[in-house]
Amino acid sequence: MRSSKACDLDSLSAMAGWDRGMEAIRTDACQDFGKAREAPECNDADASPPESTTQCTKSFSRDKSYPLDSVKNYSLPASSTRSYPDNGAKMPSILNIAHMCSHLQNASKARLGITSVQNTKYNLHLALAMHRSGFFSAIYRAGPHPPTLEKMVSEPPEIVTSANVAKMRIWLGMKYWNGKPVLSKAHVISKPSRLMTADIQELARLTRGFPAKLKGGVVPGLGLGECMFVATSQGVLEAREALARKVGGLLICRIS
C-alpha cells in the first residue's frame, strides 16, 4: 500500500496541473474575447462544455481581468446617442451661432460699419434670415479682407473653392438709425445641453408677447421690435415667417 505522504504528493501535483490548465484556458479566453463578442450567445444551463473558447460568451463575461486591447474597439449602441428634435428641424451648430450673436452685439456697440463672421452653413442661413428682417444692409461672402459697400451691393460674391474655403468669411453690413444701432441685443435661446423647440401654438403665443412653457423651460414673449429666429424643416425663419408657413422648430436666438 502507498503511504499517505505519497498520496498527498500526488494530490498536490494533480492540483498544480489543474491550475496550470485553467490558467491556459483563461489566457486563451482573454485573447479571443474580441472574436467571442461577435459569436452568438448560448445558455449556460443548456450548453455543454464548448470545444472552442469562442462558442459561448457568457463564461467570458464573468472574468473581470480582460486586457485593454480586447475592448479598445468598443462603441456605444445607437440607442444611446442623442437624437434631434422630432419636428423635423435640423439642429444647427449652437456654439457657432452663440459666437455669432456675441460678435454682432459687440460690433454694434463699437459702431462698426461692416463686420464678418465665420463662413458656415448655419451662420449664412441665420444671416440671410436677419437680412430679410432688416437688421443688415448687405451680406457678402469674400476673403479675409473686407470688401467695400459698393462691391457688396453691385458685384456677386466670390466663388468658394477647395483652395480658398478656409479663408472665406461672411461680411455683414451693419445698420444704424439716428446714431443708434438697429441691432443692439442678441441672445441665444437654445444651448447644447438644453434644446428649446416650439410648435405652431407655442410660436403664436410667443409672438403675441405671452410667455410659453416649453420642454426645456419658460421662454418670455417677444417685445416691441424684437425678433426670434427658428430652425425649421424649411430653413431658418423668423418666428412670424414660421407661423405664416405653419411650421415649428428649434428656437435659435432673439434679436432686438
Residue 17, pLDDT score: 57
Q: How many helices (H) and strands (E) does the chain have?
A: 8, 12
Gap between the Cα atoms of 75 and 94, Å rounded: 26
Tens place of pLDDT per residue across the chain (256 aa): 455 544 454 555 555 555 665 666 666 655 655 554 554 554 544 545 445 444 444 444 444 444 444 434 444 444 434 444 444 444 457 888 999 999 999 999 999 999 999 999 989 999 999 999 999 999 999 999 999 888 888 889 888 999 999 999 999 999 999 989 999 999 999 988 899 999 999 999 999 999 999 988 999 999 999 999 999 999 999 999 999 999 999 999 999 9
Q: Identify the CA nearest to 132 among candidates 239, 238, 222, 240.
A: 238
Residue 89 near residue 233, CB atoms below 8 Å? yes
Indicate the length of the chain as a whole number. 256
**Consecutive H or E run containing 235:** strand 235-238
Per-residue CA distances from 251 to 126, 148, 206, 248 (Å): 12, 33, 11, 9
Residue 149 has what pLDDT? 82
Task: Name the CA dihedral angle for 54, 56, 59, 63, rounded to a multiple of 10 degrees.
Answer: 30
Q: Which helix (H) or strand (E) holds 103?
A: helix 94-109
Residue 139: all three cell numbers together: 451680406
The whole-number pLDDT of residue 145 equals 93
CB-side neighbour CA atoms (13 Å) of 120 = 13
Question: Which domains, and CATH codes, for the chain?
Answer: 92-181 (3.30.1370.30), 189-255 (3.30.1490.10)
pLDDT of residue 95: 86
DSSP state of 141: E
Q: Which helix (H) or strand (E) holds 181?
A: strand 180-181
Per-residue pLDDT at 58: 44
C-alpha cell at 153: 451691393
Predicted TM-score (pTM) above 0.85: no
Of 88, 115, 83, 86, give the one whose Cα is nearest residue 186.
115
